[in-house]
Structure 1
Amino acid sequence: MPHVLRLSTKRQVASILLAGVLFGGLPWAPALAFDLFGWFRGSADAPPPPDMEALPYSLDYGINGGGSDLEQVLKDASTLQSLQADPPPDAAALVSRAEADLPRLIDALWGAGYYNARVSINVAGVPLALQAPRTDAAVRAASTYQARALVPVQIVADPGPQFVLRNVSIRDARTGGTFTPAELPPRIVKIQPGDPARSADILAAEARIVDHFRAQSRPFAKVPDREPVVYHPSQVMDVTLGVDPGPRAGIGVIRVQGTENVDPAVVRSFIYTEPGDPYSPATLASMRRSIAQIEALSSVRIREGETLDAYGNLPLFVEVTERQPRIIGASIQYSTTDGPALRAYWAHRNLFGGAERLRLEGNLFYLTEDGGRPNREGDPRWEDFGGRFRASFLKPALGGSRNDLLAEALVERDRTEGYTSRLVNGTAGIRHRFSETFSIQGGVEYERGQTTDVLGQIDYQLVGLPVSLSYDSTDNALNPTEGVRLLASVTPYPEFLGSSVPMTVARGTASAYYSLDDEARYVLAGRLGLGSIVGADLEEIPANRRFFAGGGGSVRGFGYRTLGPTFLGEPIGGRSLLEASVEARIKVTDTIGIVPFVDAGTAFASSYPDFDERVRFSAGLGLRYYTGIGPIRLDVAVPLNRQRGDDTFGIYVGIGQAF
């Protein structure tokens, strides 16, 4: 779950986070500053002022038809545009730069389908054109601007009419015949007579054709022959593509390369493809994602063999690079809701050479009941502080198998709006990975603790046998656009194992993602969460084990863990839980998106949602800024059925989508 910063009208939260990361053998890394949204940068294309050392120039475009789209085509191709902030030293260099641009600009217009295009470049009022004899007039004219003013440069284009496709022929390069619609569907080719004769569209069609045949287990599919013929008087193009699908192949021998300190058997255990399985790019992508889950590795590259083996299979070479094994970090945080907090962690990602991960993490925070204010007696007391220490260990690929050993220990003293708790917890389990998407886990859990809330104090001991399953077919962890996520767990705490509160806790969450278009600019996302506790009465269950709703990962707009049964006006949690969310994720540009959403949910006193409690609803609008590591999220949510004491709205900031 992404970390979020939540603000509300009653609890204005301001956080400052200072973090440092230390990799094994390296000193503390220097701080790097960047302007995330580019709001504070000047134009990167702005020319510098005139001086004696350089000859900067202004750049203008004059296009006879075609509009802003053609102007952008010319800008993308022009070195005068891309190097404007790096001016030449003198007039001769400026003229040479302009002359070198002429064939590039013609090629760019041809690529856009304008095969009768003409381009000239005016330097200080002197025109330059292809196949025109060079004179020194442009050099002399530009020299007069040295150290005085920007040299005026104008790119003048007469694109003429845009050519269209007249005939489109796709043939088999091996036999000379044509492909049937079943072999090569028209939806793959897409280009057809009457379409603009753009080279980018033709190249895109070639790429789709190759991808189509590669997805049919033909790794050597290619387009060896391309025959575009332009008829200038008719303003049309005929294009013939010769496609060689290549032979069908399976996966051959898989060799792991690049491991120096990590056991290659661990890498191999995360490869679920076996020799003889059908080849496909999707299989290779799945293999790459699976191997990337190994924290000891920093990169994964899969290289395909150049020829098939004797069995008609394609050898694969998995090339990996390793991370520095050690990492350490720390942070200092302050908020008016929770007061000050310190956090530090250390981790080793390859403890014994088998990609074992050991992580130690400690948190120290100020326990408050009143929005971060100190106790009324003045100075903070030791009992006003809480803390959490966690140690976790992961041993992947036990004996080279797909079984992983997981163990964790936790010591915690915490306080929320509804309760305070102290506990010691330890878990150990085995996870079996059936595939990259599906795994099950079973183990044992021990917890001993004490909770106090408005219902009283509970001293308890729990010994459980947790079992869980996970299925994740989504395409991206932080920004899924397609697929399904399922997580279900059930943990019985029977009395005969030593549990003082015999009960069974079950919880499940499911989310689904559906893209409405090929570019995933419009994505529908939905989430449903359910929980149930059976075997014990509500007042017997430790407060930290009951279900609560509300907050950034639940029903946005309401306070964190405040929705559910109450007693004397205080939230006490419930024995069952219902949560649901629906979002429409809309990309306005490649980097900016908006997300209208609706959340609903609450906790119930009974062991199943009987709706004795009022289901709470909220709605809101989110803003997304898409980066290379994932979207930065800003959500504003408003409760739709507020009750006394509820916030009027909530603001949430985090990295990654809400679910």
Structure 2
Amino acid sequence: MADQSRVRRGASSACRSSDARRGRRVGLVLAVGTLGLAGAEPARAFDLFGLFGGEEPPPAPSPAALPYAVRFQGVEDEDLLRALRDTSSLERLRAEAPPDGEGLLRRAEADLPRLLDALWGFGYYDGRVSVRIEDVVLGGDAAARSAVRAAEAARNRTLVAVRIAVDQGPLYRLRTLAVRDPAGRPFGPDAVPPRLTRVGDDEAARSAAVLAREARLVDHFRAQGHPFAKVLRREPVVDHAARVMDVAFVLDPGPAAALGAVTVRGTRDLDPAVVRSFIYAEPGDPYSPQALAGIRRSVARIEALGGVRVREGEALDPDGTLPVFVDVTERAPHIVGASARYSTVDGPGVRAYWADRNLFGGGETLRIDADLSYLGLGTDYYARRRRLAGIETNGLGGRLAATFVKPALFGTRNDLLAGAFIGREVQQSYVSDAAGGTLALRHRFGDAFSVQAGIEGRAGSDRDALGRVDYGLVGLPVGVTYDSTDSLLDPTRGVRLTASVTPYPGVLGSDPGLLLAKAQGSTYWALDDEARTILAARLGLGSVSGAGLAEIPASLRFFAGGGGSIRGYSYRTVGPVGPYNLPIGGRSLIEGSVEGRIKLTDTIGVVPFVDAGTAFASSLPDFDERIRVAAGIGLRYYTGIGPIRVDLAVPLNPDKALKQPPVALYISLGQAF
């Protein structure tokens, strides 16, 4: 014990003197080492495929300057080498040759402490760095003069050879983490859970690891309602005999606070009451960063807004609450867009839209969409079968639709939704001509949960292998939406659920009288703290009852297959098959998917997946139809707006009576579900 104490005291004095010099160095390392890493990553991500060539070569020898070549030696850790290069001014300024040997010497001498800091920042506290100019190792005045002469001797002849020799030494590990309040008292397990200070047996004593622990501690206290929590200082102690580092954090949690008044700023043409209706946090609610993130996320759903910044006050109000400021910027009110597409199954198509995102100053959105498609150009496998069934079409389809949303009626959390459409839908197995409209009221209980109810009317004529159905329907749709996920395009946790029931009763004039029900849910589990491995699952159900299969319009029946359903199978082709081997859809549906979303790097991921399901002729799944299964592998490229998805899927047990592609490729933005 006495020997160990002496080692620890020796280590402590070595860290706090010079014999105190090393203590200051440890503190510096915790910043410098991390900066080296931060500088490396964006460049590496930007040049992911090496499109911009290698490093810029130094200038050629000349009478006016002393260009040089730098080589690092003795570094086995690639991340460390990258950090050393980013830290070194000799490396960074190679293209700007110094005018003389003195200038080169100053660069080299300035590099030595920086490189040592970077080395220690990676946990190599016994490491050493030396710089050689030509054949002269720097160290002392005599060596400095010799190095200058050696550099000048290369003028206008050759590049000056600069060698940076690194002796990494052993990698130190992190032994203990302690957290104390400003008075020096340790926090109890109720205030600081043991998981925040637990250290693995082989955890390297790197600056990035220490700073990450510090950030987690601050985040923990902020999440417990302490908005001004901060680490006052960190006290690292290196024990060279044991090759370990102990770190103590002195943390001031600050006062606990509740949310105070929320002030909305920056609205110009938009009524601020609309913004307030999307803020579900109330004064007096407990403070947490999640609460502020929730405010930003919900306010950002207002289409009239382009930017949302939620800022907490710098001090508590006299009543002990924390004021919150929501700064917004408005978008240009009008938007016009167009897109084109091509599918080997569905043929080509074009789409255009126009929208006003603040029609009357209350955040009202009016959007008009026009879509034109053509099922042909050699892609229509079912064309001959449709002709045999008497379903005549030239392959042209289109839809014109208008939607209107008035959010925050009278400043409440109620939204008015209206829509109308007219169009022709041409699918592989049916043609539908229809027009209709909806009027609904939606109530938002919070950012995650809403319900809506309304009235819907539609009339049309559908033709498929079972014949022609002329219909007129008046329905009373009721729906519920719940979404607790953390991202629209790339969720890593939470649940999504949508469910709706629409009765089309005969007493309202519906012919035929129907009851249509749909539900879909998905859930996401992160299997590690950094959410680099996600298990995602989806289940979809549907049922229509009240009439026989042949009496139900084909466009209201259920079909499976396609990119949003069972990948690997053609769109809307999985389910019951009728005359002429044409899919006729079903009165019920069950389908599901399971994915493993695995990030290999910050920008690249792979996704193995399995999809399964089918439609049934009965109004509830009776499993008379065979469940169709597909499997595949996906590639994800993660961008700032969401992942780019490329999925390759293979149908495992296709219906031999229907032609299915042996493999299907899907490319889109965002995850499959």
Same fold, TM-score > 0.5, yes or no: yes
Match of 1:565 in 2: 576
Q: What is the CA distance between 1:273 and its match in structure 2?
A: 0.4
Match of 1:110 in 2: 120
Match of 2:369 among 347, 361, 384: 361
Residue type at the aligned position of 1:73: A
Match of 2:495 in 1: 484
| Aligned mates of 1:600, 1:267 — CA distance in 2 | 42
The answer to whether the 8 Å contact 1:119/1:129 transfers is: no
Query: Structure 1 575/223 Cα, relative in aligned 2: closer, same or farther at 3 Å?
Result: same
Q: What is the CA distance between 1:455 and its match in structure 2?
A: 1.2
Query: Structure 1 234/449 Cα, relative in aligned 2: closer, same or farther at 3 Å?
Result: closer
Match of 1:635 in 2: 647
How do residues 487-526 of structure 1 correspond to structure 2 at under 5 angstroms? 487-526=498-537
Match of 1:652 in 2: 666
Query: Structure 1 233/531 Cα, relative in aligned 2: closer, same or farther at 3 Å?
Result: closer
| Aligned mates of 2:148, 2:600 — CA distance in 1 | 44
Write the deviation string for residues 92-124 of structure 1: whole angstroms up to 9, x where unpaired: 665554444333212112222333432233345
Match of 2:164 in 1: 155
Match of 1:11 in 2: none
Query: Structure 1 498/252 Cα, relative in aligned 2: closer, same or farther at 3 Å?
Result: same
| Aligned mates of 2:378, 2:104 — CA distance in 1 | 68
Match of 1:443 among 428, 433, 454: 454
Residue type at the aligned position of 2:264: V
More deviation in 477-486 or 129-138?
Answer: 129-138
More deviation in 326-335 or 448-457?
Answer: 326-335
| Aligned mates of 2:369, 2:500 — CA distance in 1 | 25
Query: Structure 1 469/234 Cα, relative in aligned 2: closer, same or farther at 3 Å?
Result: closer
Higher helix share: 2
Match of 1:170 in 2: 179
Residue type at the aligned position of 1:313: T
| Aligned mates of 1:589, 1:442 — CA distance in 2 | 45
Match of 2:624 in 1: 612
The answer to whether the 8 Å contact 1:124/1:138 transfers is: no
More deviation in 113-122 or 582-591?
Answer: 113-122
The answer to whether the 8 Å contact 1:63/1:71 transfers is: no
Match of 1:22 in 2: none
How do residues 21-420 of structure 1 correspond to structure 2 at under 5 angstroms? 38-39=48-49, 41-43=51-53, 45-47=55-57, 50=60, 58-63=69-74, 67-82=77-92, 86-88=95-97, 90=99, 96-128=106-138, 134-135=144-145, 137-138=147-148, 141=151, 144=154, 152-164=161-173, 168-173=177-182, 175-191=183-199, 196-230=204-238, 237-368=245-376, 371=379, 383-420=394-431
Query: Structure 1 649/234 Cα, relative in aligned 2: closer, same or farther at 3 Å?
Result: closer
TM-score with structure 1 setting the length: 0.87
Secondary structure of 2:219's partner? helix
Residue type at the aligned position of 1:189: T
2:604 is equivalent to residue 592 of structure 1: yes
| Aligned mates of 1:38, 1:459 — CA distance in 2 | 56
Q: What is the CA distance between 1:69 and its match in structure 2?
A: 3.9
Match of 1:624 in 2: 636
Q: What is the CA distance between 1:90 and its match in structure 2?
A: 4.8
Residue type at the aligned position of 2:430: Y
Residue type at the aligned position of 1:625: Y
| Aligned mates of 1:287, 1:209 — CA distance in 2 | 24
| Aligned mates of 1:44, 1:260 — CA distance in 2 | 49
Secondary structure of 2:672's partner? coil
| Aligned mates of 1:295, 1:132 — CA distance in 2 | 70
| Aligned mates of 1:49, 1:337 — CA distance in 2 | 57
The answer to whether the 8 Å contact 2:196/2:213 transfers is: yes
| Aligned mates of 1:43, 1:98 — CA distance in 2 | 27
Match of 2:538 in 1: 527
Query: Structure 1 131/354 Cα, relative in aligned 2: closer, same or farther at 3 Å?
Result: farther
Q: What is the CA distance between 1:50 and its match in structure 2?
A: 3.5
The answer to whether the 8 Å contact 1:57/1:87 transfers is: no
| Aligned mates of 1:61, 1:566 — CA distance in 2 | 69
The answer to whether the 8 Å contact 1:584/1:596 transfers is: yes
The answer to whether the 8 Å contact 2:353/2:369 transfers is: yes
Secondary structure of 2:567's partner? coil
Match of 2:441 among 426, 430, 452: 430
Residue type at the aligned position of 2:184: G
Q: What is the CA distance between 1:629 and its match in structure 2?
A: 1.4
Residue type at the aligned position of 2:419: E
| Aligned mates of 2:61, 2:383 — CA distance in 1 | 66
Q: What is the CA distance between 1:550 and its match in structure 2?
A: 0.6
Query: Structure 1 143/542 Cα, relative in aligned 2: closer, same or farther at 3 Å?
Result: farther
Q: What is the CA distance between 1:360 and its match in structure 2?
A: 1.4
Please list every run of 5 or more consecutive structure 1 residues that lacks an aligned counterpart in the other structure.
1-34
Q: What is the CA distance between 1:311 and its match in structure 2?
A: 2.1
| Aligned mates of 1:336, 1:273 — CA distance in 2 | 48
Identical pairs, percent: 55
Query: Structure 1 368/250 Cα, relative in aligned 2: closer, same or farther at 3 Å?
Result: same
Q: What is the CA distance between 1:143 and its match in structure 2?
A: 7.8
| Aligned mates of 2:148, 2:196 — CA distance in 1 | 50
Query: Structure 1 406/143 Cα, relative in aligned 2: closer, same or farther at 3 Å?
Result: farther
Query: Structure 1 237/372 Cα, relative in aligned 2: closer, same or farther at 3 Å?
Result: closer
Query: Structure 1 501/312 Cα, relative in aligned 2: closer, same or farther at 3 Å?
Result: same
The answer to whether the 8 Å contact 1:45/1:81 transfers is: no
Q: What is the CA distance between 1:83 and its match in structure 2?
A: 5.3
Residue type at the aligned position of 1:538: L
Q: What is the CA distance between 1:581 and its match in structure 2?
A: 0.8
Query: Structure 1 253/512 Cα, relative in aligned 2: closer, same or farther at 3 Å?
Result: same
Q: What is the CA distance between 1:428 and its match in structure 2?
A: 1.6
TM-score with structure 2 setting the length: 0.85
Q: What is the CA distance between 1:281 and its match in structure 2?
A: 1.0
2:483 is equivalent to residue 472 of structure 1: yes
Q: What is the CA distance between 1:315 and its match in structure 2?
A: 0.7
Aligned length: 618
Residue type at the aligned position of 2:437: G
Q: What is the CA distance between 1:49 and its match in structure 2?
A: 6.4
Q: What is the CA distance between 1:290 and its match in structure 2?
A: 0.9
Query: Structure 1 212/361 Cα, relative in aligned 2: closer, same or farther at 3 Å?
Result: same
The answer to whether the 8 Å contact 1:524/1:585 transfers is: yes
The answer to whether the 8 Å contact 1:295/1:355 transfers is: yes
The answer to whether the 8 Å contact 1:618/1:641 transfers is: yes
| Aligned mates of 2:168, 2:541 — CA distance in 1 | 62
| Aligned mates of 2:647, 2:159 — CA distance in 1 | 46
Write the deviation string for residues 435-479 of structure 1: whole angstroms up to 9, x where unpaired: 111111111111111111111111211111111101111111111
The answer to whether the 8 Å contact 2:483/2:495 transfers is: yes
Match of 2:588 in 1: 576
Residue type at the aligned position of 1:317: F
Residue type at the aligned position of 1:42: F
| Aligned mates of 1:210, 1:187 — CA distance in 2 | 14
| Aligned mates of 1:143, 1:437 — CA distance in 2 | 72
